[in-house]
């Protein structure tokens, strides 16, 4: 089975459910609690390159920290990466990594797409 790294928030039910799905499918899951093991801007750029799509798609735009940081849907990518590095609560979760790919587990079943 595939080894999968998951950027995980244990307080998030969607994140817990995605991890459970992977484990039930027999995959070895390594957790990175990204709120305490904060990613750097360079790491966030590398994740974005694997995810594809707009940077905004990897953000939790409804979090209070989004508006508090002065961000909007029109903010430039550099400001978005910097904000996620400063406030990792803004990173959408979970993000699963395997086989050179990454996916945001929304809906949670999407984590199975990369294994």
Q: Which active-site residues does the annotation give?
A: 12
Question: What Rg do the C-alpha atoms of the chain give, in angstroms?
Answer: 14
Tokens 């990173």, residue located: 91
How far is Cα 71 from Cα 9, in angstroms, rounded to an integer? 23
Tokens 């699963």, residue located: 96
How far is Cα 21 from Cα 26, in angstroms, rounded to an integer? 9
Token pair, residue 61, equals 């735009």
How far is Cα 8 from Cα 38, in angstroms, rounded to an integer? 11
């Amino acid at each position: 089975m595939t080894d999968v790294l998951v950027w995980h928030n244990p307080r998030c039910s969607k994140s817990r459910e995605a991890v459970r799905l992977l484990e039930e499918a027999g995959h070895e899951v390594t957790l990175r609690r990204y709120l305490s093991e904060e990613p750097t801007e360079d790491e966030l750029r590398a994740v974005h390159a694997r995810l594809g799509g707009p940077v905004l798609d990897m953000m939790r735009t409804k979090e209070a920290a989004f508006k508090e940081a002065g961000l909007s849907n029109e903010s430039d990518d550099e400001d978005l990466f910097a904000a996620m590095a400063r406030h990792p609560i803004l990173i959408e979760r979970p993000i699963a990594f395997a086989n050179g790919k990454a996916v945001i587990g929304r809906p949670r079943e999407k984590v199975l797409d990369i294994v």
